[in-house]
Amino acid sequence: MRLALFGHGGMGSLVEARAKDAGHHIAVVFTDRDAARPPEEIARALEGADVAVDFSVGAAVADHVTACVKAGVPLVEGTTGWQAQFAELRGVVERGKGAVVYGANFSIGVNLFYRVVAVAAAQYAHDSSYAPFVEEAHHARKKDAPSGTALKLRDIVSGANAGRAVPVASTRAGHIPGTHRVGFDGPADQIMLTHTARSREGFAAGALLAAQWIAGGRRSGVFEFAEVLDDILASAGGAAR
């Protein structure tokens, strides 16, 4: 694949390294120095790319989505902090017959963790004496709080509890790659489910998996990474049989 990268911080640099290790080519890299470039200009610079991967900042996502749609380049959107624009940008993608995979977290482990939490939340919803809550911790440089992953976990738990409010607590300190906890606190005991990232390697691996899935122009629309993972796992299961 020929990849375009939006953002060249910790995640962007890691995606670049892992892509090269896998034999892919980096066609173009956009950094904060390109922030003032209009979508039309970015679209021209995307020519020749098979897919773009975005780990930049939330404020830039609208321009990046617009540019990719104009260029006919599928986009893997790993940036958080843009969800308020989701409906608007979905419209941009669908009208332009573009393709976007987005996710609060591209770690395969986290996406499987979502499923574990959904099952647990459904069980504890049967006993209203258990109060659900979410805690998350990330490195001091992470700007958005709560994290997109924490908000996704909150929505999963709330959905299983008939819309019950679920508090979310955030910590920003040091160099923490990412820790998410979902708890159910009762009068006699507490249950805690925890996902701890040891590094950002899992996020890069998931983003490249999504890039391979959406590249090639075979798909159009907006897909959540959880859907992509479902499709990949189902295909792998079919192949194994």
Is residue 79's pLDDT more than 70? Answer: yes
Q: Which of 216, 175, 209, 177 is nearest to 18 (CA)?
A: 209
Q: Which of 157, 78, 82 is nearest to 116 (CA)?
A: 157
Confidence at residue 234, expressed as pLDDT on a 0 to 100 scale = 82
Mean per-residue pLDDT, 53-79? 96
**Quick one: pLDDT band at residue 230, thresholds 50, 70, 90?**
confident
Residues labelled catalytic? 138, 142
The proportion of the chain whose per-residue pLDDT surpasses 90, expressed as a percent, equals 83
Confidence at residue 241, expressed as pLDDT on a 0 to 100 scale = 44
Strand-pair category, 75-77 with 99-102: parallel
Supply the CATH classification number for the domain 108-196: 3.30.360.10
Is residue 162's pLDDT more than 50? Answer: yes
The proportion of the chain whose per-residue pLDDT surpasses 70, expressed as a percent, equals 98
In this structure, what token pair is assigned to residue 215? Answer: 């590249």
Mean pLDDT over each residue of the chain, to the nearest integer:
94
**Quick one: pLDDT band at residue 240, thresholds 50, 70, 90?**
very low
Domain layout of the chain by residue ranges:
2-106+201-240, 108-196
CB-based contact 197:107 (threshold 8 Å): yes
Going 20 to 24 to 28 to 30, the CA torsion angle's sign is negative
Higher model confidence: residue 126 or residue 231? 126
Confidence at residue 39, expressed as pLDDT on a 0 to 100 scale = 96
Mean per-residue pLDDT, 24-36? 95
Mean per-residue pLDDT, 95-124? 95
Exposure string for 6-38, b = 16+ CB within 10 A, e = fewer: bbbeebbbbbbebbeeeebebbbebeeebeeee
Is residue 237's pLDDT more than 70? Answer: no
DSSP label at residue 57: -
**Quick one: pLDDT band at residue 81, thresholds 50, 70, 90?**
confident
d(CA 217, CA 205): 21
CB-based contact 214:99 (threshold 8 Å): yes
Confidence at residue 88, expressed as pLDDT on a 0 to 100 scale = 97
Which fold, 2-106+201-240? Answer: Rossmann fold (3.40.50)
pTM for the model: 0.83
Mean per-residue pLDDT, 100-126? 94
- Summarised one tens digit per residue, pLDDT across range 176-227 is 999 999 999 999 999 999 999 998 899 999 999 999 999 988 899 999 998 8
Is residue 238's pLDDT more than 80? Answer: no
